[in-house]
């Protein structure tokens, strides 16, 4: 079962990513790691699709296992 958007956001923060301040009305949140990696996370309620989850992992530079352990 794919994770919920709120879980992804929480785990990104545990992995050192910080959310950028919101700008305008957009439906996405940008998270930045101190080493420069950026992740764009759509703010949808409920679970995110698998393809989008894999894209978030790729942007973050982490494996699914690293995500699960966070």
pLDDT at residue 56, rounded to an integer: 96
pLDDT at residue 45, rounded to an integer: 86
C-beta of residue 38 within 8 angstroms of C-beta of residue 22: no
pLDDT at residue 22, rounded to an integer: 80
Question: Which pLDDT tens digit goes with each residue over 22-67?
Answer: 876 788 999 999 999 999 998 888 899 999 999 999 999 999 999 9
Q: Are strands 18-19 and 28-32 parallel, antiparallel or unpaired?
A: antiparallel
pLDDT at residue 44, rounded to an integer: 82
Average pLDDT over residues 14-28: 88
Q: Delineate the domains of the chain, giving CATH numbers in brackets.
A: 5-69 (3.30.920.30)
pLDDT at residue 1, rounded to an integer: 80
pTM for this prediction: 0.89
């Amino acid at each position: 079962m794919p994770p919920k958007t709120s879980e992804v956001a929480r785990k990104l923060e545990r992995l050192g990513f910080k959310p950028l301040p919101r700008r305008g009305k957009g439906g996405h949140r940008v998270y930045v790691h101190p080493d420069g990696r950026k992740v764009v996370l759509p703010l949808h309620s409920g679970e995110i699709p698998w393809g989008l989850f894999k894209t978030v992992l790729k942007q973050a530079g982490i494996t699914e296992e690293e995500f699960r352990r966070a």
